[in-house]
């Protein structure tokens, strides 16, 4: 495990490779269009908050479409929301890398604990889990 990098892009690329561009793009557009995702990002931006990883996963799961999704789908959706938060909230504000990394680890840990048997190989092999 490299403590100086994020794994989000690698996990999302693995998801795209396994499930295809169509599913990847559909999940990405669902998250970008979600009112709850936009609300979370807006709240974080205006209050300068770090969303805990559990809050990002819960936000995704509050969408009926993802409430009973497989672990890989939930991981992709949560990481898309995480990336959106990074793109919007870190544009004008400084957030230390270790805090951003901690959010990613929390997301991946939560997803892995929920779906260890069906997780993408990259999640199983990343050794990010406690």
Domain chopping of the chain, boundaries = 8-120
Instruction: Give the Cα separation of 70 and 109 in Å (integer).
Output: 15
Tokens for 42?
A: 């807006």
| Helix, strand, or coil (residue 114) | helix
Yes or no: say if 92 and 69 are a contact pair by the CB < 8 Å rule.
no
Tokens (6 digits) for 67: 């409430």
Show the low-confidence residues of the chain (pLDDT under 50): 1, 129-130
Residues 21-54 pLDDT 10s: 999 999 999 999 999 999 999 999 898 888 999 9
Distance CA 94, CA 115 (A): 33
pLDDT at position 122 is 56
């Amino acid at each position: 495990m490299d403590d100086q990098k994020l794994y989000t892009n690698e996990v999302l690329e693995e998801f795209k490779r396994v499930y295809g561009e169509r599913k990847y793009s559909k999940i990405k557009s669902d998250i970008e269009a979600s009112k709850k995702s936009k609300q979370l990002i807006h709240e974080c931006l205006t209050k300068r908050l770090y969303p805990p990883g559990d809050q990002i996963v819960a936000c995704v799961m509050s969408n009926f479409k993802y409430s009973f999704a497989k672990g890989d789908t939930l991981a992709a959706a949560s990481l898309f929301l995480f990336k959106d938060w990074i793109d919007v909230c870190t544009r004008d504000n400084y957030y230390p890398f270790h805090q951003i990394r901690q959010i990613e680890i929390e997301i991946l840990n939560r997803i892995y604990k929920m779906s260890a048997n069906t997780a993408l190989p990259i999640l199983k092999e990343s050794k990010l889990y406690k």
